[in-house]
Amino acid sequence: MKIIVLVKQVPEADKVAVNPETGTLIREGVASILNPFCEYALDEAVRLKEEYPEKEIEVIAISMGPPQAKSALMRCLELGADRAYLLSDRKFAGSDVWATSNALSLGVKKLVPDFDLILTGKQAIDGDTAQVPPETAEHLGIPQITYGVNTKIEDKKIVVKRETEEGYQIVSTRLPALVTMSKGSNIRRMPSMKQILEARKKTLEIVSAEDIGADDTKVGLNASPTQVAKVFAPPEKGGGEIIDGREEPKLAAKKIFDFLIANNFI
């Protein structure tokens, strides 16, 4: 059985700045990490591998990005992935969510055509669109389940516990399928020294657009129906007023009541 984990390298969220003139992210000097939700998906794949040894599960990590995204895939190998592929080519530059999902689906078809399950993070913390995984499933023509927190394999089906605003649902679908993962019970782990050393012996292959049969009409800026016009940081909010009612509760209550009236809350 083969489980693909689609991952993304992202800048550390608390260190991102925006160029006020160009409206673009300042990435120079900013550390990049494996997207946390992708790491949860990888943990789920490794857990399934350990829970179902009779299925001889192989975990394959795939990402699209610049050459430095190799570090995110190396972490995947350290955390239990068996092999990894990086789709890296100048032709991929400027891809929106549709072009990115198209490139990933082409990569999956070319590199692991006999896959059984695809796991992804529910979203990336830099864009937060949550669009690439569902669109990838559509390109591949396979069913999808979103916001999973736990999975089980039953015969030729995947059974997923997924989170909703009202609670949890248990949903199943036939394989092959794609499941996006929330945090659930998975945790971000630190690899051991043995795992780090073993990862250096595993396959990490760089794949070009030509290798997967992707031309300019399928990937990159020219193939992207949407474009980001501007990125900006939200304005900083001023501090709120603190009313201490420990000494004069009635006076504090009156201040709160007056505030609600003044701002048309009541």
Distance CA 133, CA 164 (A): 18
Residues 99 and 46 placed together within one structural domain of the fold: yes
- Residue 228, pLDDT above cutoff 80: no
For residue 217, with 0-12 CB atoms within 10 Å meaning exposed, 13-18 middle and 19 or more buried, which class applies? exposed
Distance CA 54, CA 62 (A): 24
pTM for the structure as a whole? 0.82
118 within 8 A of 177, measured Cβ to Cβ: yes
Domain tally, the chain: 2
Residues 7 and 40 placed together within one structural domain of the fold: yes
- The two tokens of residue 218 are 């399928």
- pLDDT tier at 240, thresholds 50, 70, 90: confident
Residue 256 lies in a domain: yes
Percent of the chain with pLDDT over 90: 63
Residue 230 lies in a domain: no
What average pLDDT score do residues 77-95 get?
94
Quick: pLDDT tens for 193-204: 998 999 999 999
Residue 261 lies in a domain: yes
Residues 46 and 159 placed together within one structural domain of the fold: yes
Distance CA 41, CA 34 (A): 11
- Residue 156, pLDDT above cutoff 70: yes
Q: Which range, of 86-90, 190-194, 199-203, averages the lowest pLDDT?
A: 190-194
Residue 41 lies in a domain: yes
What pLDDT does residue 213 have? Answer: 93
66 within 8 A of 186, measured Cβ to Cβ: no
Percent of the chain with pLDDT over 70: 91
- Rounded to an integer, what is the distance from CA 133 to the centroid of its chain? 8
- Residue 23, pLDDT above cutoff 60: no
What average pLDDT score do residues 6-35 get?
73
Report, in angstroms and rounded to the nearest whole number, the Rg of the chain calculated over CA atoms.
22
What pLDDT does residue 233 have? Answer: 67
| Beta carbons within 10 angstroms of residue 7's beta carbon | 30
What pLDDT does residue 265 have? Answer: 87
Residue 229 lies in a domain: no
- The two tokens of residue 159 are 């059974």
- The two tokens of residue 91 are 């032709």
Quick: pLDDT tens for 28-85: 666 788 999 999 999 999 999 999 999 999 999 999 999 999 999 999 999 999 999 9
Distance CA 177, CA 144 (A): 6
What average pLDDT score do residues 16-37 get?
71
Residues 137 and 257 placed together within one structural domain of the fold: no
Residue 241 lies in a domain: yes
Distance CA 176, CA 165 (A): 27
Distance CA 71, CA 174 (A): 33
- Residue 25, pLDDT above cutoff 70: no
Residue 185 lies in a domain: yes
| CATH, residue 86 | 3.40.50.620
- pLDDT tier at 26, thresholds 50, 70, 90: low
Residues 203 and 257 placed together within one structural domain of the fold: no
Quick: pLDDT tens for 198-226: 999 999 999 999 999 998 888 988 889 88
Residues 156 and 248 placed together within one structural domain of the fold: no
- Of 127 and 124, the one with more pLDDT: 124
Residues 240 and 170 placed together within one structural domain of the fold: no
The rounded mean pLDDT for the chain is: 89
Range of the domain at 16: 2-223
Residue 66 lies in a domain: yes
Q: Distance of CA 71 to CAs 10, 45, 75, 175, Å?
A: 11, 19, 6, 30
Residues 206 and 169 placed together within one structural domain of the fold: yes
Residues 219 and 240 placed together within one structural domain of the fold: no
- Residue 146, pLDDT above cutoff 60: yes
Residues 219 and 143 placed together within one structural domain of the fold: yes
State how beta strands 167-174 and 117-121 pair.
Answer: unpaired
Distance CA 148, CA 109 (A): 24
- pLDDT tier at 191, thresholds 50, 70, 90: confident
Helix spans in 88-188 (H): 97-111, 132-140
What pLDDT does residue 24 have? Answer: 57
What is the 8-class DSSP label of residue 175? S
Residues 199 and 248 placed together within one structural domain of the fold: no
The residues that bridge with 121 in the sheet, in sequence order, are: 181
Residues 32 and 123 placed together within one structural domain of the fold: yes
The sign one gets for the Cα dihedral 77, 80, 82, 84 is negative
